[in-house]
């Protein structure tokens, strides 16, 4: 019998059987992959992130910074195949220690939505925690009594309302920003405000993905399917601000790239104006609101040396 977040930790990150610890292709459009993300469109995503960094802190600061990508796939990395203006580039994969110092640009793409999530359900004017138990050789969802409800749970909610609380995502961010580094924090992900999570998502936000099919059966394929929930932007913004980050904002991916990557967008559209090229199609997928432009958001903030 386990709380759901402990089950999710095992299913995703166990060194032997965890989904993210297996040596296989997870991201992309080819057979055998499970989901599609911004990295799937090719090098343009990395180029846009680079252009946005230049816009945020300038060429000189970029040239003095190490670009650190946390959560990159073993064969991935958004700057791996492109020229970039940073002093150094390194990736931190799942299971590797996160060590940061000096001047950095700390970047992640869909890192926080894959952190273990606590699940709660409202029963008879009280909150219960959802967990997982093995019953007759079958995994089943169970309800666990709480001695004390976390302070963030609302005092009123409809009967049966489910809250997926992305507490571990906030704890991971606090671990990242507690280290002695200055520069830019930049995370592309999908999430909601706490008000949306606690009032507008009665069935929670947890989902499973396998072979590009979304499912609500979170227990069906432990270790063989991705598990994900919407992160809470309010919690992450608060964590950044509490650690000395300034100009902290959450924008849609469309808005962020249009505002911060305008120079590259303009050059790309001029070059590809007369044809529907793969590069132009990739750009459309990244910024069009019907594709990834509104589905994903970008959280960013800047910390100076005096605020460490």
Q: What is the pLDDT of residue 36?
A: 78
Q: How far is Cα 128 from Cα 80, in angstroms, rounded to an integer?
A: 45
pLDDT classification of 278: cutoffs 50, 70, 90: confident
Q: How confident is the model at residue 83 (pLDDT cuts 50, 70, 90)?
A: very high
For residue 96, pLDDT beyond 90: yes
Mean pLDDT of 204-211: 96
pLDDT at site 39: 86
The pLDDT assigned to 182 comes to 97
Q: Residue 235: which of 145, 89, 115, 107 has the closest Cα?
A: 115
Would you place residue 1 in the very low, low, confident or very high pLDDT band (cuts 50, 70, 90)? confident
pLDDT of 272 over the 80 cut:
no
Q: Is the pTM above the cut of 0.85?
A: yes
- Give 25-53 pLDDT, tens digit per residue: 888 878 888 887 888 888 999 999 999 99
Q: What is the pLDDT of residue 279?
A: 85
The domain 2-302 is placed in CATH, from the list 2.60.40.1220, 3.40.1710.10, 3.40.50.12710, 3.90.380.10, at 3.40.50.12710
Q: Are 284 and 277 in contact (CB under 8 A)?
A: no
- Look-up of token digits 């959450």: 250
């Amino acid at each position: 019998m386990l709380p759901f977040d402990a089950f999710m930790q095992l299913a995703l990150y166990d060194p032997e059987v965890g989904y993210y610890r297996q040596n296989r292709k997870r991201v992309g459009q080819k057979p055998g992959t499970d989901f599609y993300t911004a990295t799937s469109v090719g090098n343009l995503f990395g180029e846009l992130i680079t252009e946005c960094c230049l816009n945020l802190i300038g060429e000189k600061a970029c040239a003095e910074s190490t670009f650190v990508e946390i959560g990159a796939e073993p064969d991935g990395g958004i700057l791996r195949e492109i020229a970039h203006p940073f002093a150094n580039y390194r990736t931190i994969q799942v299971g590797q220690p996160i060590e940061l110092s000096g001047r950095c640009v700390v970047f992640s793409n869909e890192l926080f939505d894959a952190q273990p999530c606590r699940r709660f359900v409202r029963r008879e004017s009280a909150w219960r925690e959802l967990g997982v138990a093995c019953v007759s050789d079958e995994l089943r969802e169970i309800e666990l009594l709480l001695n004390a409800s976390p302070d963030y749970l609302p005092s009123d909610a409809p009967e049966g309302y489910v809250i997926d609380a992305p507490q571990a995502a906030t704890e991971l961010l606090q671990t990242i920003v507690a280290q002695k580094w200055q520069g830019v924090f930049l995370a592309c992900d999908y999430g909601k405000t706490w008000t949306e999570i606690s009032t507008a998502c009665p069935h929670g936000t947890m989902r499973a993905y396998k072979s590009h099919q979304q499912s609500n059966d979170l227990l069906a394929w432990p270790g063989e399917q991705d598990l994900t929930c919407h992160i809470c932007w309010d919690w992450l913004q608060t964590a950044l601000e509490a650690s000395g980050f300034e100009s902290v904002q959450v924008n849609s991916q469309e808005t962020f790239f249009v505002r911060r990557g305008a120079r590259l967008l303009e050059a790309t559209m001029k070059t590809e104006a007369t044809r529907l090229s793969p590069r132009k199609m990739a750009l459309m997928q990244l910024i069009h609101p019907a594709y990834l432009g509104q589905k994903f958001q970008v959280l960013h903030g800047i910390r100076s040396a005096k605020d460490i």
